[in-house]
Chain A
Amino acid sequence: MIRFDNVTKVYKGDVVALRDVSLEIAKGEFVFLVGPSGSGKSTFLRLLLRDETSTTGEILVAGRDIGRLGSWKVPQLRRNIGCVFQDYKLLPNKTVYENVAFALEVIGRPKSIVGSQVPQILDLVGLSKKATNFPTELSGGEQQRVSIARAFVNRPLILLADEPTGNLDPATTVGIMRLLDRINRTGTTVVMATHDQRIVDAMRRRVLELDHGQLVRDQARGVYGVGS
């Protein structure tokens, strides 16, 4: 599903964000991306979204070299990649329902699809009763559920999550992780960047560790830190 071939990303001023990273993530895998701040996790995710292009090396998503995509094809790539962030990125002037529906409307899905998919996904994340609330009326955990609903409503092949539990307390975090696990079990590949040692250790999934832009560990059923 995702393949990095000797990917290096150098920013202006010779800052090396990723150094010769090669790896492969199969369809349906759940992968944790760990490492200290500045280790290259965010760059990794941005490259996958084609927010940026690699300096050298190839990145393949579903068999296609995304570095060669014309800019008019980037939206098509992003329709196949759902994305969740630490700060939720919800639109404050839209209700929960509208926030999720927005993701379908702006890619031109017909009203009938929007009308059937949105309630279904809100049910999946457990927010059917809050459909008409605004984001500011929700708790952090609920807002993140809306964000996940929005990322998943178009049934993408891949779900990227950048510190999705970074702002949440441990109890709420467990709920979010259950939700991501459930989405993963529908066959969606999940890549989650995190600092949260407890969830990595509890879930025992594949762990990719980055340090100073280099892939220093690729461990199946791994833990957050070596020896911990």
Chain B
Amino acid sequence: MSRFAYFFRETLISLRRNLLMTLAGIMTVAISLFLFGGIVLLNRMVDHGTAKWKNGVQLEVFMRNTATQGQIDDMRQTLANTPTVKSFRFLDHNAAYTEFKRIFRDNPALVRNIAPGDLPTSYRVAPRRAQDTENLAVQFHARSGVDTVITAEREVRNMLTATRVIRYVFFTMAGVLLASSLFLIVNTIRLATFARRREIEVMKLVGASNWFVRVPFMAEGLVQGAIGAGISFGLVIVLKNVLTSLQTHKSVQGLFNGFYVTNGDALTIGFMVLLIGAGIGVLGSTIGLRRFLDT
């Protein structure tokens, strides 16, 4: 108990003594981890928004809710007989409802007000060649019982390309910033050990264990990393709420194309960020301690 009190006191004293360096370390950790967390969050959003366009699916044919079973079967026949269609899959009311619930799991009121029968059935179609998409869309739209056909528009494609570029740029920036926050922590710990070199000398002389000497400095690095990560955790949650509030203004049809993020996504990313922050703190102090405490 008294040992814990000792570590706590020493860590606090040391953090206060290097206040400016400590703040610089915390802020760099926070900014770099927020960049990192933010880009992962946006990534998740793009993943969700483009999930249905995986495996070569380029268009989705929505049937009218009033469509007869005969019209639905006709459509299936047409798809099966069209040579430029590689594959297709039918989503009935229940499948649509399952997907709907997944997308809006953070919005139970909306889910309560929608029954499976309210949602249109659809075919998801993968053409053999992407350039056939537009022709197929026109062709299928003319069939009876078809409400609308949406395609993986050029915008989505462009967006995927754009996000890939942005992703690399941001990841690189986050990486550089993380590295510099690591160096800042290393430097802070070096200053701290230098400021207390007399005490360290005496401690080693009278036989304090290596861990006893080390723990206050490790804790100092850990605190810096963790506080920085805590700030970026908060920022990631804020970003999630901003993105969600943008989403709810869209129309219901737009919701289906929805680029959304869930609380679960934000929390997972938040904890990832916390772990990285704490890891950087400990790594930084370990490196910072190496020079002084080698026996």
Contact = CB atoms under 8 A, between A and B. Distances in A.
Interface stretch (B86-94, B185-193, B201-209): B201-209
Interface string A51-78: 0000000000000000000011011111
A47 B3 CA distance: 31
A80 B205 CA distance: 11
Nearest to B294: A71
A153 B34 CA distance: 51
A91 B198 contact: yes
A108 B212 contact: yes
A49 B207 CA distance: 10
Interface in B101-140: none
B9 to A, nearest CB: 11
B2 interface: yes
B107 to A, nearest CB: 55
B216 to A, nearest CB: 11
B207 A76 contact: yes
A106 B198 contact: no
Contacts of A111: 2
B210 A103 contact: no
A110 B2 CA distance: 8
B295 interface: yes
Interface in A85-120: 89, 91-92, 102-103, 105-108, 110-111
A91 to B, nearest CB: 6
Contacts of B292: none
Nearest to A153: B206
Contacts of B198: 89, 91-92
A9 interface: no
A92 to B, nearest CB: 8
Contacts of B213: 106
Nearest to A147: B202
Contacts, number: 58
Contact of B210 (A72, A80, A102, A150): A72
B199 A72 contact: no
A6 to B, nearest CB: 25
Given A91-B198, A111-B2, A83 B205 contact: yes
Nearest to B213: A106
Majority secondary structure, B binding face = helix
Interface in B274-295: 295
A78 B205 CA distance: 7
Given A105-B6, A111-B2, A75 B202 contact: no
A76 B213 CA distance: 14
Contacts of B295: 50, 71, 74
Interface in B246-295: 295
Nearest to B206: A103
B206 A78 contact: yes
B215 to A, nearest CB: 11
A74 B199 CA distance: 18
A75 B207 contact: yes
Contact of B206 (A50, A72, A106): A106
Nearest to B205: A83
Given A71-B295, A74-B295, A150 B206 contact: yes
Contacts of B203: 106
A89 B209 contact: no
A107 B208 contact: yes
A89 B206 contact: no
Interface string B199-233: 10111111111101100000000000000000000
Given A75-B208, A91-B199, 9 more contacts: A49-B205, A71-B210, A76-B207, A89-B198, A92-B198, A105-B6, A106-B203, A107-B208, A111-B2
Interface of B: 2-3, 6, 198-199, 201-210, 212-213, 295
27 contacts: A71-B210, A71-B295, A72-B209, A74-B295, A75-B204, A75-B210, A76-B207, A78-B206, A79-B207, A80-B207, A83-B205, A89-B198, A89-B205, A91-B198, A91-B199, A102-B206, A103-B206, A105-B6, A106-B212, A106-B213, A107-B206, A107-B212, A108-B3, A108-B209, A110-B2, A111-B2, A154-B206
Interface of A: 49-50, 71-72, 74-80, 83, 89, 91-92, 102-103, 105-108, 110-111, 150-151, 154
CB-based closest 3 A-B pairs: A78-B207, A79-B207, A106-B208
